[in-house]
């Protein structure tokens, strides 16, 4: 299963991606986690991306796409993946399509997390990550609306909507049910 999760920050993509990755037996690949690991290590990439993460802005595509290209080349991603937080704009989506096509693969599904904005802001404030201050949260929601949401048109023919309100287990059951229909 090659699956992409799309939704506003705080929609619960990371939590569901972890569960689905275990249930489907494919790696969970989160660009946000990869970037935070680089920042934690103080690597070259980490130093370059920190300011973007702090500001709630998108890291430039070249850097992001290269990191994803390398991660998808790892053996464990050959049989599938749950991508969480990538692609986040139309250019990244095109690059992802190219990376997969080069291997004779394609996405199976793009799952869009539907959740009202007041619910996501509440979840983010409760989470308390360093980029979860009110200003940065607002900025990340704006970036989602302006840059990521338009990407959903690009994926119109493989888009699956999930109601992402409620408890973690309920949402996970909904996701599995929806994916079983994909085949
Ligand atoms: P996330 O953990 O998905 O909320 O991502 C946290 C931050 O990492 C974002 O606010 C961006 O600064 C950066 N980031 C994560 N994924 C991407 C991506 N696909 N493109 C650009 N920046 C990203």
Nearest to 120 by CA among 88, 97, 90, 142: 142
pLDDT over 80 (residue 22): yes
Residue-averaged pLDDT of the chain: 95
pLDDT at 105: 97
Query: Is 29 buried (19+), middle (13-18) or exposed (0-12) by CB count in 10 A?
Result: buried
**pLDDT bucket at 183, cuts 50 / 70 / 90:** low
CA–centroid distance, 174 to ligand 1, in Å, is 25
User: Residue 132 has which token pair?
Assistant: 């979860």
Q: Report whether pLDDT(182) > 90.
A: no
**H-assigned helices in 2-59:** 13-24, 31-41, 44-55
Q: How far is the C-alpha of 55 from the C-alpha of 160, rounded, in Å?
A: 30
**What's the rounded Cα separation, in Å, for the pair 80 and 125?**
32
H or E element at residue 172: helix 168-182
**Ligand 1 centroid, distance to 130 Cα (angstroms):** 13
> pLDDT tens-digit profile of 108-164?
999 999 999 888 988 899 988 999 998 999 999 999 999 999 999 999 999 999 999
For the stretch 108-124, pLDDT in tens is 999 999 999 888 988 89
Instruction: Quote the pTM value.
Output: 0.96
Distance 182 CA to ligand 1 centre (A): 27
Ligand 1 atom nearest the C-alpha of 36 is 8
Average pLDDT over residues 176-181: 96
Predicted pLDDT of residue 18: 98
Averaged pLDDT for residues 91-110 = 97
- Helices (DSSP H) in 25-165: which residue ranges? 31-41, 44-55, 61-72, 90-102, 117-127, 134-143, 151-154
């Amino acid at each position: 299963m090659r699956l992409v999760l799309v939704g506003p920050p705080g929609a619960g993509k990371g939590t569901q991606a972890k569960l689905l990755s275990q249930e489907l037996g494919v790696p969970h690949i989160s660009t946000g986690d990869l970037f935070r690991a680089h920042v934690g290590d103080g690597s070259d990439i980490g130093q370059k991306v920190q300011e973007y993460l702090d500001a709630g802005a998108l890291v430039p595509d070249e850097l992001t796409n290269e990191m994803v290209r390398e991660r998808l080349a790892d053996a464990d991603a050959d049989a599938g993946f749950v991508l969480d937080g990538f692609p986040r704009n139309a250019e990244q989506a095109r690059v992802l399509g190219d990376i997969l096509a080069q291997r004779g693969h394609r996405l199976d599904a793009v799952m869009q997390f539907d959740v009202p904005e007041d619910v996501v802001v509440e979840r983010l404030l409760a989470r308390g990550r360093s980029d979860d201050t009110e200003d940065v949260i607002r900025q990340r929601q704006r970036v989602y609306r302006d840059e990521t949401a338009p990407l959903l048109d690009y994926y119109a023919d493989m888009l699956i909507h999930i109601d992402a309100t409620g408890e973690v287990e309920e949402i996970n059951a909904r996701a599995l049910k929806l994916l079983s229909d994909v085949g």
